[in-house]
Structure 1
Amino acid sequence: MTFQYHNPIQFHFGPDTLEKTPELCKGQKVLLVYGGDSLKKNGVYDRVTGLLRQHDISYVDYGGQTAATWQQILDGIDLAHREQVTAVIEMGGASAMDTGKAIAFGAVHDHLEDYIEGKAQSDGRHLLNIIIPTYPSTGSEADSVCDIIEYKGYGVELFGAWPDYCLMDPGTTLSLDRKSTAYSVWVCFIQASAWFVGNHENDIARGFAKVVLQTLLGSYEKLMDDPNDERARANVMWASCVNTMGVFRSGVDQFYPWTLYSVGYIPRVAHHVSYREALTIAYPHWLRGIAKYHAEDIHALFTEVFGIDDKLNTGDVIEAGCAKLNALLEKSGIPMSLAAHGACPDRKYILGALTKEDFGEFSVEEMYQMVSACYQQK
């Protein structure tokens, strides 16, 4: 087992963490990056801007960042240059966080596309960057990765865009409705499951992942019954963070779990389905598909995390596990089919949208069958 671990972010967790914002960006001019109206409805925008005004810290708004598109990132960098901002604070969910991190990085690097395409390596420079997550799920608050869409027609990643601080107040998630809460849990769960099924060398990292997965399932059940359960909210927020801060990745020896994102990518580009909806609908179908190649790993996920009887044969374990997973997903009322978005893209479209590496062990036909299952009416 060989790995390196590094995470330079300073994390602050608790009900009063937002109060630290002014001291962390004292003397700076701030670009505020956020998504839709929810940030103003839940009071976070007013809290943060009130603190900035109270301490005579000037700021410029860059709202409406509901998708981390290449053009919006470029526009944000231009705005940062025009306004001569020296710090970026991103507030909200994954899209706002990825956009803000990319702007903070791109504002001090010419030719940002060179870093995306691997022609240049990150040197660690960026504008002062503070993240305030209010919709924990993808864990963008805890890593250096920015998922960017509509870059020359593709989805790409920028690496090395570390934030400096992450301020987490679980109370900011209390305004999330039932559907959003469910997505928050399940996106985190699905991503974290890769560290469990794909790690056969680091017992500590795999054990951490197992505990997080079990805690997420328990917290999900509690939040479906009582959305104001603050401990469950705190569990989800911290799980989202530790999921991507790098500890779980240490010792991972199998990378086939990333083919799940290939299944989810097709509806995202074909019908502009949100990441969270595409991922949660794709997950059960991918589990059935990947079990053909990694039955032992999926068997372990369902028996050790979901509590399926391990005395059953592997085929029955997988069917029982998928049935339990579907029942849990349906409990929240989130969609279980993409039928409302249109017809499933054909095989030719899928072949053109994915690279050879994106298929992993799957054939084109197997990939098509998984994507097609996502579009079947329930």
Structure 2
Amino acid sequence: MQNFDYQTPTRLIFGKDVIEELPEVMKQFGKRILLSYGSGSIKKIGLYDKVKELLKDYEIYELPDIQPNPKYDPSVLDGVKICKEKNIDVILAVGGGSVLDCTKAIAAGAKYEGDPWDLITYKVKAKEALPIVDIITLAATGSEYDAGGVISRTETNDKTGYSDPLLYPVVSFLDPVYTFSVSKKQTAAGCADAMNHIFEQYFCEDSTLLNDGFMESALKSLMINTKKCLENPEDYTARAEMMLCCTYGCNGIYSLGNSESGWPCHGMEHALSAYYDITHGEGLAIITPRWMKHILNEKTVERFVKYGVNVFGIDEKQDKFAIAEQAIDATYKFFESINIPMHLKDVGIDESRIDEMAKHVAENEGLEEAWAPLLEKDIAEIFRESL
């Protein structure tokens, strides 16, 4: 077991109607609020009006239209500008992980006098940040319980992960009811995203029985409950369990003491969605089984055996490579069963920029140091295998 230093300062308020506690929570941070949100779904489900009603005694400024794969320009830059001009005390992010990722970059940028991109790329370390409160409406990224986010810079085809302990939300409100209206496409993509967060921690050199069991249970829960959510979008129990599985995804709790994997699928998918602006979870679902197949060898096979036996119930008496191949095939078939497009061509990606993207990943993601090392040629092969 590896050494670790772990702290999660985020308060989780989980369950039906917990938003009623919002005024009491917000008053400790100040009166001037930046309300950040996406394309308007929170208005369709009545959450926007509810928030405004609950916070009627506060001074609220708004940053709408934050996109999936949130953009540095305009969203981060616009948010930073508002925070500085209006002397914002606290940011309230209402929406999915993209809204919260963007909000984290804004929170740090609002307290920095230079170009916020300096912080996102670790050129400069943030010294302070505005407090963040969030109300999550999509089970997927786990951004509500971690200190990181991912920001896209369109002009350079960069999609950059950014993490800083200052950016943990101080409070996250999690009401599964607000996920009832999530489309089947986004429900499935959220499941794929969360499953891949677990894969990125599970497939590593050094792990524990405790962590393996936690992650294996979470994978089974996600697969079972996602199908229930797709069959009945208002199944509260299924939505609630799916949401909590996703919440644990990226704050390290699944894998305390494990060695690092390098997060190779995220490293590769960031290029796909930076170049083509595809749905992150779908991109992960497409490349993950191909990555699994590509790295299967004598070093990695035992992890795939454990995964196959404990998650899918594959007969452990078989040849170890047969078990591994069945586990990979079962992963592919699960994603296919929830109607995720399983080829890059299905989401508008062709052969034309494969080599360019592979080079970008190889130069920026450090995957030659991953648990299963990937060079530029490996990345290109995985992309091509995914077409």
Asked if these proteins are the same fold (TM beyond 0.5), I'd say: yes
Does residue 1:294 correspond to 2:300, yes or no?
A: yes
Does residue 1:182 correspond to 2:188, yes or no?
A: yes
Does residue 1:315 correspond to 2:316, yes or no?
A: no
Q: What is the one-letter code of the residue matched to 1:373?
A: E
Paired residues of 2:101 and 2:149 also in contact (CA < 8 A): yes
> Number of paired residues?
371
Paired residues of 1:195 and 1:206 also in contact (CA < 8 A): no
* TM-score under structure 2 length normalisation: 0.89
Q: What is the one-letter code of the residue matched to 2:14?
A: F
Does residue 1:280 correspond to 2:281, yes or no?
A: no
SS for the counterpart of 1:12 is strand
Sort the Cα spacing of 1:342 and 1:237 in 2 relative to 1 into closer, same or farther, 3 A.
Answer: closer
Sort the Cα spacing of 1:178 and 1:352 in 2 relative to 1 into closer, same or farther, 3 A.
Answer: closer
Paired residues of 2:267 and 2:361 also in contact (CA < 8 A): no
Aligned to 1:149: 152
Paired residues of 1:219 and 1:236 also in contact (CA < 8 A): yes
CA distance in 1, matches of 2:186, 2:268: 22
CA distance in 2, matches of 1:363, 1:143: 29
Give structure 1 regions of 4+ aligned residues with deviation exceeding 4 angstroms.
none
- Runs of 5+ in structure 1 lacking a partner? none
How much does 1:117 deviate?
A: 3.4
Aligned to 1:95: 98
Does residue 1:369 correspond to 2:381, yes or no?
A: yes
Aligned to 2:367: 358
SS for the counterpart of 2:380 is helix
Sort the Cα spacing of 1:266 and 1:118 in 2 relative to 1 into closer, same or farther, 3 A.
Answer: closer
Aligned to 1:121: 125
Sort the Cα spacing of 1:63 and 1:371 in 2 relative to 1 into closer, same or farther, 3 A.
Answer: same
Paired residues of 1:262 and 1:358 also in contact (CA < 8 A): yes
Of 160-169 and 331-340, the range deviating more from structure 2: 331-340
After superposition, give the CA deviation of every residue in 1:293-317 in whole Å (9 maximum; x if it has no partner): 5121122212211222222223222
How much does 1:266 deviate?
A: 3.2
Pick one of 101, 104, 108 that aligns with 1:105: 108
Aligned to 2:267: 262
Q: What is the one-letter code of the residue matched to 2:272?
A: P
Pick one of 158, 161, 185 that aligns with 2:162: 158
How much does 1:102 deviate?
A: 1.5
Identity %: 25
CA distance in 1, matches of 2:159, 2:206: 29
Paired residues of 2:201 and 2:260 also in contact (CA < 8 A): no
How much does 1:199 deviate?
A: 6.2
Paired residues of 2:159 and 2:271 also in contact (CA < 8 A): no
How much does 1:285 deviate?
A: 0.8
Of 139-148 and 328-337, the range deviating more from structure 2: 328-337
Paired residues of 2:32 and 2:60 also in contact (CA < 8 A): yes
Of 98-107 and 261-270, the range deviating more from structure 2: 261-270
Aligned to 1:25: 26
SS for the counterpart of 1:132 is strand
Of 76-85 and 136-145, the range deviating more from structure 2: 76-85
How much does 1:271 deviate?
A: 2.1
Aligned to 1:136: 139
How much does 1:76 deviate?
A: 0.7
Sort the Cα spacing of 1:353 and 1:209 in 2 relative to 1 into closer, same or farther, 3 A.
Answer: closer
Q: What is the one-letter code of the residue matched to 1:245?
A: N
Aligned to 2:220: 214
Of 132-141 and 244-253, the range deviating more from structure 2: 244-253
Does residue 1:343 correspond to 2:350, yes or no?
A: yes
CA distance in 2, matches of 1:349, 1:190: 20
How much does 1:182 deviate?
A: 1.3
Q: What is the one-letter code of the residue matched to 2:125?
A: Q
CA distance in 2, matches of 1:207, 1:353: 32
SS for the counterpart of 2:94 is strand
Sort the Cα spacing of 1:110 and 1:335 in 2 relative to 1 into closer, same or farther, 3 A.
Answer: same
Of 316-325 and 79-88, the range deviating more from structure 2: 316-325
Paired residues of 2:76 and 2:102 also in contact (CA < 8 A): yes
Does residue 1:79 correspond to 2:87, yes or no?
A: no
Pick one of 48, 57, 64 that aligns with 1:45: 48
RMSD between aligned residues: 2.1
Of 152-161 and 24-33, the range deviating more from structure 2: 152-161
- Runs of 5+ in structure 2 lacking a partner? none
Q: What is the one-letter code of the residue matched to 1:354?
A: A
Q: What is the one-letter code of the residue matched to 1:289?
A: H
Aligned to 2:39: 36
SS for the counterpart of 1:251 is coil
CA distance in 1, matches of 2:221, 2:39: 29
How much does 1:224 deviate?
A: 3.2
CA distance in 1, matches of 2:129, 2:374: 39
Sort the Cα spacing of 1:113 and 1:265 in 2 relative to 1 into closer, same or farther, 3 A.
Answer: closer
SS for the counterpart of 1:355 is helix
